[in-house]
């Protein structure tokens, strides 16, 4: 007893007041360093954007704004509008125009402010949903992690292009993410509504309805389909002429969208078009799309079997930009969830050093290349093999992510506690035990 008492006393360090004081000071010092780090990173990103970001003058927002005011002002049909000195007009379904009607009531500067604000809020919320599990698991400072992620996202070419074009991309990512990461988890009756609204605004998020079907969430797929149909019928009732024009004519005029061989089209169709800009092979494009869909369906079902909805969300975002006939660089904000997941899986518990290095390396390379505007170096230089390969850099990285993005492991059965007695470690029922036939004793030998 005396020896145990001496040992216990010896473990108390002398001058224990100093560590306690240091502990009280440490949180404040850490916060100061975090604030300085965020400010320094924000300044570095600002300097990078000042040099690397292309000023587009909110070109796409100008198309939306002009088309809505042309339509509301009674100057003609929604799809008659073409931006002055350009051949670009409104290309989204009529329901998208209904959601943009407030632009007919505000000035151009106010429209820019609304667009920037909505994109910023949607981006921050989306990053929080993706980062929150990692923050909770690692116990990192939440505001610091989100602030660093927002700074890095601002330098990401698809994100900055979305902002500077005045595009709706992050709003669509937000709607689909809210559906899969919140509604599907918390209220299955409403699951599918966000995907349905996003699909009615722009057809490409419809890939997530197929995702719900592939992963056997038929109720959510029905809700999404019904929501998209209801929104489309609402637009048809409010604007019948514009709806008829879109579904019978404007939708099929691919020349309104742009040249598929243009280097900004980072999709499988863009790869094929740059092989032969004069006569791209539709058969080759269909074959590539089917192969990619097969890989995606297999990986998505495995992710959902492991209860990993966020990986299914990321994989579907990747496959959506791959199979779409036109995927401009700013559409590639759908790759952002996969980058966050690579970091999440790298810092996850149980990751080996080699696995951590591979995941962080892939995230760093993908992020670095998709910040660098690398593909623009090869614009119009598709004749050589190196030019063709370099012009499709974002597509190659997306294909790697589709194959290599890890999903969460299937939860294993809980191990038997060490303190459990042998009786406690046995199965709960006798029926669960293997049947062992005992040897019968010969009673005649016993009597003898």
185-212 pLDDT per residue, tens: 777 788 999 999 999 999 999 999 999 9
pTM of the model: 0.83
The mean pLDDT value for 366-386 works out to: 92
Residues contacting residue 433 through CB under 8 Å, at least 6 positions apart = 426, 427
Q: Of 199 and 248, which is predicted with more confidence?
A: 199
Q: Which of 389, 379, 330 is nearest to 204 (CA)?
A: 330
Q: Is the pLDDT of residue 253 over 90?
A: no
Q: CA quadruple 100, 239, 68, 252: dihedral positive or negative?
A: positive
pLDDT, tens only, 288-307: 999 999 999 999 999 999 99
In the structure, what pLDDT confidence band is assigned to residue 418 with cuts at 50, 70 and 90? very low
The mean pLDDT value for 252-276 works out to: 87
Q: Is the pLDDT of residue 6 over 60?
A: no
Among 92-101, 151-160, 336-345, 351-360, the minimum mean pLDDT is found in 351-360
The mean pLDDT value for 426-444 works out to: 41
pLDDT, tens only, 157-175: 999 999 999 999 999 999 9
In percent, the amount of the chain with pLDDT more than 90 equals 67
CA 67, 68, 70, 76: dihedral to nearest 10 degrees?
90
Q: Of 148 and 417, which is predicted with more confidence?
A: 148
């Amino acid at each position: 007893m005396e020896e145990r008492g001496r040992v216990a006393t010896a473990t108390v360090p002398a001058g224990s007041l100093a560590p306690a004081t240091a502990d009280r000071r440490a949180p404040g010092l850490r916060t100061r360093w975090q604030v300085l780090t965020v400010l320094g990173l924000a300044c570095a990103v600002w300097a990078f954007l000042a040099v690397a970001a292309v000023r587009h003058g909110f070109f796409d927002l100008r198309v939306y704004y002009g088309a809505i005011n042309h339509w509301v002002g009674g100057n003609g049909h929604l799809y008659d509008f073409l931006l002055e000195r350009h051949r670009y007009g409104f290309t989204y379904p009529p329901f998208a125009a209904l959601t943009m009607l407030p632009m007919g009531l505000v000035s151009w500067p106010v429209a820019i402010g609304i667009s920037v604000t909505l994109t910023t809020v949607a981006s921050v919320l989306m990053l929080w949903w993706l980062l929150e599990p990692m923050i909770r698991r690692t116990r990192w400072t939440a505001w610091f992690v989100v602030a660093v992620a927002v700074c890095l996202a601002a330098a990401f070419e698809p994100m900055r292009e979305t902002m500077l074009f005045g595009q709706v991309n992050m709003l669509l990512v937000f709607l689909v993410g809210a559906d899969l990461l919140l509604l599907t988890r918390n209220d299955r009756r409403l699951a599918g509504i966000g995907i349905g609204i996003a699909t009615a605004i722009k057809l490409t998020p419809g890939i997530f309805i197929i995702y719900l079907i592939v992963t056997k969430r038929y109720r959510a797929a029905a809700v999404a389909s019904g929501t998209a149909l209801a929104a489309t019928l609402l637009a048809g009732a409010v604007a019948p002429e514009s709806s008829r024009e879109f579904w019978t004519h404007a939708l099929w005029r691919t020349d309104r969208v742009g040249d598929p061989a243009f280097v900004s089209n980072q999709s499988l169709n863009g790869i094929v078009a740059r092989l032969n800009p004069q006569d791209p092979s539709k058969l080759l494009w269909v074959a590539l799309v089917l192969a990619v869909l097969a890989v995606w369906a297999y990986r998505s079902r495995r992710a959902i079997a492991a209860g990993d909805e966020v990986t299914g969300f990321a994989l579907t975002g990747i496959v959506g930009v791959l199979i779409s006939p036109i995927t401009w660089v700013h559409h590639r904000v759908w790759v952002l969830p996969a980058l966050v997941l690579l970091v999440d899986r790298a810092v996850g518990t149980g990751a080996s050093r080699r696995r951590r290095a591979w995941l962080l390396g892939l995230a760093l390379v993908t992020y670095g290349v998709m910040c660098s505007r690398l593909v623009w170096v090869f614009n119009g230089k598709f004749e050589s093999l190196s030019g063709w390969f370099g012009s499709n850099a974002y597509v190659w990285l997306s294909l790697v992510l589709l194959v290599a993005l890890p999903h969460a492991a299937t939860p294993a059965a809980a191990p038997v506690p060490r303190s459990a007695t042998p009786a406690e470690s046995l199965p709960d029922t006798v029926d669960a035990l293997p049947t062992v036939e005992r040897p019968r004793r010969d009673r005649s030998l016993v009597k003898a």
